[in-house]
Amino acid sequence: MFLELEPIFNNIGEKLEFDYDMDLSAIEISTVYPFKKPVKVKGSVFNRAGVVQLVAAASLEYDAPCDLCTQQTVKPLTIPVDHVLVTSLNDEENDELILLESFRFDLDALVTEDILLSLPSRHLCKEDCKGVCQYCGKNLNHDSCSCSAPPDPRLAILKQLLDNNDE
């Protein structure tokens, strides 16, 4: 969605509200397309005392397999989007301000970037997910398994020594 911001920058007290759905279904994260439903974006851009600020929230459902047990899990998330917009910078190193090339602003790109940067590094079905057994593949959240770890091959010679002492 493109916003025409010239009236906002030129008039103190001016406000522009927006409420729309954004399609992120083509975005792939770790070989999964987790955005099955549209992302709802709602917020406003306003000029308060000459400072133009964008404040919004992106509500979405993140639909992906759990990183530990691979169970498909849908998590609702609300990502805050809060930025100060400027048309020129005195300090080129400032990462807190969004520099606009023109008064026509692509809101989708900024919201998409904020969503991707805010996603958790691990997607779990629940906080205490036990994952799967590394030997038999059983989901340890549902059942326990009787697998035991195979002996360390580096210690096999010690086992032979112990077995020889028993004879």
Main-chain dihedrals φ then ψ at residue 9, nearest 5 degrees: -65, -30
Q: Which two tokens stand for residue 7?
A: 């009236």
Nearest to 125 by CA among 44, 71, 161, 80: 71
- Give the pLDDT of the chain (167 residues) as one tens digit per residue: 999 999 999 999 999 999 999 999 999 998 999 999 999 999 999 999 888 999 999 999 999 999 999 999 999 999 999 999 998 877 677 777 888 888 899 999 999 999 999 998 888 999 999 999 988 888 999 888 888 877 778 877 787 787 776 66
pLDDT at 49: 87
pLDDT at 160: 79
pLDDT at 67: 92
Q: Which two tokens stand for residue 46?
A: 């306003």
| Residue 112: partners with Cβ closer than 8 Å, 6 or more residues away | 22, 24, 27
Tokens 């010690």 locate to 158
pLDDT at 151: 75
- DSSP letter for each residue of 125-152: SSTT---B-TTT--BTTT------PPPP
